[in-house]
Structure 1
Amino acid sequence: MKKYLKYITIAAVGAIVLSCDNYVDIKTEGKLIPEETQNYRYLLNNTSTLDKAYGNIDVASDDISFQNESQTSALTSTDYYRPFVNLYKWADKIYFEGERDYDMENLYNALYNINIVINEVMKSTNGTEAEKAALKGEAEVHRAFIFLTLVNTFGKAYDASTSATDPGIVLFTTPTVSDNIKRTSVQEAYNVIISDLNDAVNSGLKPINSGNNVAFPSRAAAYALLSRTYLYMRNYPLALENAEKALALQNTLNNLEDYEFEAYPSRKLDKELILSKWNGYGTYTYAPQLLSLSNELINLFDTNDLRYVLFTQPSSNFNFDYTIGRSYSKEGLTGESRNAGPTVPEMMLIKAECLARAGAGDQAIAEINKLRQKRFRTGEYVALTATDSKDALIKVLAERRRELMGTGGFRWFDLKRLNKEPEFAKTITHTFGSQTFTLAPNSDRYQLPFASIYFEYAPDLQQNP
């Protein structure tokens, strides 16, 4: 294997061989060739590799605010937190020379095995065509999630007029490595994402997965990611169509009132979760100093809202030196990190947004009221109303921010797409100690810079400005 594999497909040769060796008999002739269909099932069972998201990005959004002086002192006391501070400042460099972006590496590492399945499973032996097609479909959902996450992290927001030339990501679609590694366009990434997901919905996947299987893609997950993809493309009719298809398969909501004095369900028991994509055990887990919420976000909540009650706490609860603000604290309820995978509430919010944009404001408000009913105690719920479809859209977007706060990059990606609309374009300000940083709509800083170490191995990898 070439040295590029370590840094661009992002896994050392030894690590790849060791991880695969747990599952398959390998013939090494330039690539790994598991021959029996069952071996591909084993590759896709490796959820510790596949159940990953890009965890850092939430810090850059306007959901997060480092308000306490002792907080900023703690964050600058060790290099461990420096990447998060740099993200918060929208710095032109997030990592020092020689440092690696482990979130990006985790996704590309998963991609290697996913591409093996996509490219080879249909030629495998001792499996039915239906079994092979379903395995390929699972892998395609995983790949679509990875590419959608990466292109929205490192590429520009989708714009039909420029995306054919806007730099996107390194788009590996085979388990091989090129000598000349370059970024493809944003449009090319979306083309692969849509093709993968359209193939996956027709591949024979189970309608839904839950319990121990929630990290395995289902048909509902494929529709849900199609809906998310079209939302980020601002193709609202197709986003609506696919959200409705996902909800036709899975539409159960948690009633938060049931968990005010009971244990909140883990992801294996979470009825709202369509596909688990979490950040693993990393810096964010049990780290409210990195997820202290902005006053702007907190002020969007009714204090009777059980998302406010259950999922946020005064920052002083975590550190006696913190005297102001509230922090996102859901991790403390479940012992798990944040999920970036699709959920029933996300699909309801996409449906509502698309209805409002289509002029059906009453239907949009009715949809988010179904969600909100499960977010308040029975006697404290008050239905939202809207004067017209524009007012409904504003209220849907506010509800989306409350429901998806501080998790999965949702707010950052929303800022990017909404900046394309003058009425929603927003300038963000972050304060860190005595410094103030400002991010203008459509700024180049909305595209994260690649860590400089990767240019040592891929000199033609184009850096973001």
Structure 2
Amino acid sequence: MKTKEINIKKSILQREHLKKCVHSIKYKVLLLAILGINACTDFVEIDPPKNTLVAETVFEDSETVESALANVYVKMRDDGMVSGNFGLGLLMGSYSDELDYYNSFVEYSRIYNHGVINSSSTALEWWTHAYNIIYAVNDIIIGLDQTQSLSTAEINEYKGQALFVRAFIHSLLVGMYGDVPYITTTDYLKNNTVGRMSEAEVYAHVIDDLIDAIDLLGEDYVVSERVIPNRWVAKALLARIYLYTENWGLAETTASQVLDGFELEPDVANVFLKESSEAIWQFKPDDYPDNNANEASWLIIRMIPGNYYAVTDELLSSFEEGDQRLEHWISSFTSESDEEITLYYAHKYKEAFYTTELSLEYTIVFRLAEQYLIRAEARAQLENISGAQQDLNVIRNRAGLANTTAAGKADLLDAILQERRVELFTEQGHRWFDLKRMGKASEVLAPIKTNWKDTDVLFPIPLNEIELNPNLEPQNPGY
């Protein structure tokens, strides 16, 4: 540990030189070709979609619905906000204080440097991808309401999954864009003229959909792996939404229910393996048996220059001495040049594509550690100091750290935010959403992001979408 900490301090001095020169160097990234392959047929070991996802679809057999839902999960895994391919974990990691960006793509540089514009390709891609997913699950819901061929149990299961996805995607949209439409129909005449709802209204709809999904879904996973959402997954998201909307009592209660259904992975080295006991929902890689989570291919550094992202000095210095997460979830690469530049990178996922005979790691979307931290924060807000300390200590002790010394409510909330930082870094944009919801984005980012503006707490509504539907106006401030 001491050698690693000395190397971290040394690497900080080397980075400024690298940042000045790396963008002028041109090179090819072969992984783009690899990650461009779209193979989804074995995502849940069923046939490709039989329907075309149009409003008139009526599902006549369970395989059709399962295939349509599988297609939704594949699209979420491979593209958009939830994906490991330039989704929230990567891009909002660089937008916040987790990742430095070292490549030369203009769009990703703008995100890293807080120069996002209203014609941002990422803002447009995430928006359109999200609403395409929402359209697809709305079509499934409508088809299930029309079918006469499926059993009540089948309809409940499939509708519960669709409602969960609709709630999940809307929860990300409202987090990124603020006021957004909540779409529940496939009627293009209505959807093309819809206006934006307030954040409070959107979250209310998210909660309603999740409550309905929980009533419909079962507790068991419908396949042998944790790749299809069930009641626990919907409850995990509901606990998060209750936290985000400051409904502390329900956040504590709902997180407790999830915590009762799973076990925390005891060894931090095994948390991101596909068999991890704390995984609640994962994305399975495509149908090549040796594929692993997408994130590793973009985060693991193999050459300098030539990488995309490295862990920031701010994140490195935030780990306490003896924290096993620094040892197991952060790694480094040193160049062979005379300067011997060292960069540190997120190494939660160890294996990139085609590096193992069988898949070892799936992308984790929800895991149990977040639920402990949700309940800790809710308990702190409710003045349950000992309960908050207990939950915080579960995560700290698993990482090899002593119990927290935070005692008062304010100190505990700061300690929980810090623990979320070192526990959930580069996962699904958690750090960014935490800074935003706690009102700390300007305080933390203004000193390290030269282009930071207070209005950067929201992405722009895509200009293309406003031109197509003026009811989406007004544009978010700052764009």
User: How would you bin the TM-score normalised by the shorter chain?
Assistant: 0.7 to 0.9
**In 2, distance between residues paired with 1:94 and 1:329?**
33
Q: Is the 8 A contact 1:352 1:363 kept in 2?
A: yes
User: Deviations along 1:14-63, whole A, 9 cap, x unmatched?
Assistant: xxxxxxx94335697x6433333442222112231244614332221122
User: Deviations along 1:358-388, whole A, 9 cap, x unmatched?
Assistant: 2222221221222223223xxxx43333333
Structure 1 counterpart of 2:461: 450
SS in 1 for 2:395: helix
Residues 1:236 and 2:260 are matched in the alignment: no
Q: Is the 8 A contact 1:266 1:334 kept in 2?
A: no
Q: 1:359 aligns with which of 383, 390, 394?
A: 383
Q: 1:44 aligns with which of 64, 69, 76?
A: 69
Q: Is the 8 A contact 2:310 2:345 kept in 1?
A: yes
Shift of 1:129: 1.1
Structure 2 counterpart of 1:10: none
**In 2, distance between residues paired with 1:328 and 1:133?**
39
**In 2, distance between residues paired with 1:278 and 1:355?**
34
1:329/1:204 CA distance change after superposition, 3 Å: closer
Structure 2 counterpart of 1:5: none
Structure 2 alignment gaps of length 5 or more: 1-46, 286-292, 302-306, 354-359
**In 1, distance between residues paired with 2:369 and 2:123?**
34
Backbone CA RMSD of aligned residues: 3.3
Shift of 1:437: 1.4
Structure 1 counterpart of 2:371: 347
Q: 1:313 aligns with which of 331, 341, 349?
A: 331
SS in 2 for 1:45: helix
Residues 1:23 and 2:49 are matched in the alignment: yes
Report matched runs for 1:406-425 at 5 Å. 406-419=426-439
TM-score by length of 1: 0.76
**In 2, distance between residues paired with 1:154 and 1:321?**
43
Q: Is the 8 A contact 2:295 2:349 kept in 1?
A: no
SS in 2 for 1:298: helix
Structure 1 counterpart of 2:416: 396
Q: Is the 8 A contact 2:272 2:362 kept in 1?
A: no
SS in 1 for 2:345: strand
Deviates more, 1:391-400 or 1:285-294: 285-294
User: Deviations along 1:82-119, whole A, 9 cap, x unmatched?
Assistant: 222111222241756x7873333333232222111223
Shift of 1:334: 6.1
Residues 1:61 and 2:84 are matched in the alignment: no
1:93/1:83 CA distance change after superposition, 3 Å: same
Structure 2 counterpart of 1:114: 137
Residues matched between the structures, number: 401
Shift of 1:210: 7.6
Residues 1:176 and 2:193 are matched in the alignment: no
Residues 1:133 and 2:168 are matched in the alignment: no
Report matched runs for 1:100-249 at 5 Å. 101-155=124-178, 168-177=179-188, 178-207=191-220, 212=225, 214-249=226-261
Q: Is the 8 A contact 1:118 1:136 kept in 2?
A: yes
Q: Is the 8 A contact 2:181 2:196 kept in 1?
A: yes
SS in 1 for 2:99: coil
Q: Is the 8 A contact 1:361 1:390 kept in 2?
A: no
Shift of 1:418: 0.5
Shift of 1:134: 1.7
Q: Is the 8 A contact 1:340 1:409 kept in 2?
A: no
1:43/1:418 CA distance change after superposition, 3 Å: same
Deviates more, 1:182-191 or 1:335-344: 335-344
User: Deviations along 1:217-254, whole A, 9 cap, x unmatched?
Assistant: 11111111001111111221111111111112223324
Structure 1 counterpart of 2:349: 331
Shift of 1:187: 2.2
Structure 2 counterpart of 1:7: none
SS in 1 for 2:446: strand
Q: Is the 8 A contact 1:49 1:109 kept in 2?
A: no
Shift of 1:333: 3.9
Structure 1 counterpart of 2:398: 374
**In 2, distance between residues paired with 1:237 and 1:319?**
56
1:276/1:101 CA distance change after superposition, 3 Å: farther
